[in-house]
Amino acid sequence: MLPLYGWTAAAVFIVFSLGGIYLIRRSKASQGYISPRTQVLSVAVFLIAGISLYFVLQAKEEKHRVEIITTIEARGGEVLSIQPAEKGETPFKGHDSVKARSKDDYFIVTYRRENETKTAWFKGDNALYRDPPTPTGEKWIFE
């Protein structure tokens, strides 16, 4: 799941987007045109919505990073690098589109365990919330 600020940013994005649309439609319906004041307010509303969307995307990246580090450390390893990858560059390319969607985020994780450098592949789920969550066995492929 997303961190709290990710959920908050998603809610702000939705509320402000709908608010901007409402302002534009209401102004146009009542006056027949969009007043300069409404134009400025609409731009401000959509700007706030865009900033909120940025924070949602940052929260998603943090969610993946935290899960990767936690899993590797639980296996007794130390993360050396986390590199984004395309599905075709990973062992997930052979999985069907239900288990490994092309829109999911894929990462190549280099880690050290017992003085040996190893590689793992992680499939990050892009859903803000999934019930039931993707099983851990379907998210990881270890070398």
Q: Which tokens belong to 91? A: 């062992």
**Residue ranges with strand state E in 1-143:** 78-85, 105-113, 116-124, 140-142
Highest mean pLDDT, choosing among 57-61, 75-79, 138-142: 75-79
Greater model confidence, 34 or 110: 110
Own/partner long-range contacts of 17-20 (Cβ < 8 Å, ≥24 apart): 17/45, 17/46, 17/49, 19/45, 20/45, 20/46, 20/49
Span 84-123, pLDDT tens digits: 988 888 888 777 666 666 677 889 999 999 999 999 999 8
With 70 as the cut, is the pLDDT of residue 2 above it? no
